[in-house]
């Protein structure tokens, strides 16, 4: 059977400051990204926002923590992953579709074009320490 394709490309603005946590020494960063498109409502064109949940691991999570904040414009590539859990209040199962980011480009703010690529760990992996040589600016 043929292998499928699971790839997402997004360009948008960060909706809130980065949340970071560590699991077995591995940095994991979460943030929301808003993308916008023009839609016609009657005779008027309006901007409609779509919100996406992004997850970064390891070195990328550390870079995101240092250089990304609410309002930052970023470009990401990654893959979709839907996770589920039982609600704490016993009301049933909850689902969330996230983008596991493998490529990151910081845009705007005079930073120029800064790309950070990383394969997301499949098994949790180990955290990688960031040095000044990892940051190109």
The secondary element (H helix, E strand) that includes residue 70 is: none
- Ranges of H-type helices in 47-90: 58-67
What dotted CATH number matches 8-37+47-122?
2.40.50.140
- pLDDT for 107 beyond 50: yes
24 φ/ψ angles, rounded to the nearest 5 degrees? 50, 40
Burial letters 78-95, b for 16+ CB under 10 A, else e? beeeeeeeeeeeeeeeee
Q: Cβ distance 28 to 54 under 8 Å?
A: no
Tens-digit pLDDT profile for residues 1-43: 678 999 999 999 999 989 999 999 999 999 999 999 888 888 8
Domain ranges of the chain: 8-37+47-122
Give the mean pLDDT of 91-100.
92
């Amino acid at each position: 059977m043929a292998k499928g394709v699971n790839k997402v490309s997004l360009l948008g603005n960060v909706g809130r400051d980065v949340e970071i946590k560590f699991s077995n020494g591995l940095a994991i960063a979460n943030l929301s990204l808003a993308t916008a498109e023009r839609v016609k409502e009657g005779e008027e064109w309006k901007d409609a926002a779509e919100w996406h949940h992004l997850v970064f691991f390891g070195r990328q999570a550390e870079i995101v923590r240092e250089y990304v904040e609410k309002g930052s414009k970023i470009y990401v590539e990654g893959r979709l992953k839907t996770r589920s859990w039982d609600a704490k209040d016993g009301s049933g199962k909850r689902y969330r579709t996230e983008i596991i980011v493998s490529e990151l480009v910081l845009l705007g703010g005079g930073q120029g074009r800064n790309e950070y690529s990383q394969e997301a760990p499949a098994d949790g992996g180990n955290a990688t320490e960031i040095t000044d040589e990892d940051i190109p600016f």
